[in-house]
Amino acid sequence: MEIVVTGRHTQIKQRFRDVVESKMNRVTAIAPDAQRVQIVLSHEGNPRQADTAKRVEITVIAGRTVVRAEASSADEFSALDMALDKLTLRLRRTRDRRKDHRRGYTNPVPVDMGVVEPEPAVEPAEEPNNSPADAVATDLGPGESVEVQVGDTPIVIRRKLHVAEPMTIDEALYEMELIGHDFFLFVNKETGRPSVVYHRHGWSYGVFEIDTPENVKK
């Protein structure tokens, strides 16, 4: 398994690399098919955030499956332990889910919140060279990203193009659990609409689908 450790606004010390490599057996024990583990260590320079100054992000790639977890703490070693605990929990869920599907288990159907009616279009005031739309009006290739500061404001917008195959709601819920987010954007395989699944409470989920008034009337 390939292990890649990188730093963001910080230097990676050899001791941290050694600790990372010594702890990765927890990953291979649960996910022996893991091909690559990427660890990113970030440093927050604001002294008011000293308790969470170090953030560790761990991403595991096993075939087409990507599992991710992150945590922040006052030092990189405790942040690593916290992120690794979250990661191993998600890896176990992934392993157990595969076993359940082999037994024919089906996840509960999420709650469909219905179609969201679009707000009436309002013509924005013209702000050449200072609007978010103008700031990110750049053609991107798959996987490419761009960050642009909006005019002379402190606002920075990051835009990225992600190419993904359409999937079912169940598959989208699965992906959301793997990356540890509260929502997941996808293209619904059954309807072809851009959709979002999200956590509501407990084991209850919601689904938003987006469409134009013209398509809804068809």
pLDDT tens track for 119-175: 455 555 544 455 556 555 566 676 666 777 777 777 777 777 777 789 888 888 878
pLDDT per residue as tens, the chain (218 positions): 899 999 988 899 999 999 999 999 888 888 888 899 999 999 887 777 778 889 999 999 887 778 888 899 999 999 999 999 988 888 887 777 666 555 554 555 454 444 444 545 555 554 445 555 655 556 667 666 677 777 777 777 777 777 778 988 888 887 887 777 778 888 999 888 899 988 877 668 888 888 888 777 76
How is the chain split into domains, by residue range? 2-102, 111-217
Q: Which amino acid is at 5?
A: V
- For the four alpha carbons of 136, 146, 66 and 199, in that order, the dihedral sign comes to negative
Distance between alpha carbon 131 and the CA centroid of its chain, in Å? 26
Check residue 116 and give its pLDDT: 45
Overall CATH class of domain 111-217: alpha beta
Overall CATH class of domain 2-102: alpha beta
Asked whether the domain spanning 111-217 has the same topology as the one spanning 2-102, the reply is: no
Query: 67 burial class (0-12, 13-18, 19+ CB within 10 angstroms)?
Result: buried
Alpha helix positions (H), the chain: 14-23, 25-30, 76-102, 132-135, 169-179, 213-217
Where are the strands (E) in the chain, listed by range? Answer: 2-8, 36-43, 54-62, 65-73, 111-115, 145-149, 156-160, 183-187, 194-201, 204-209
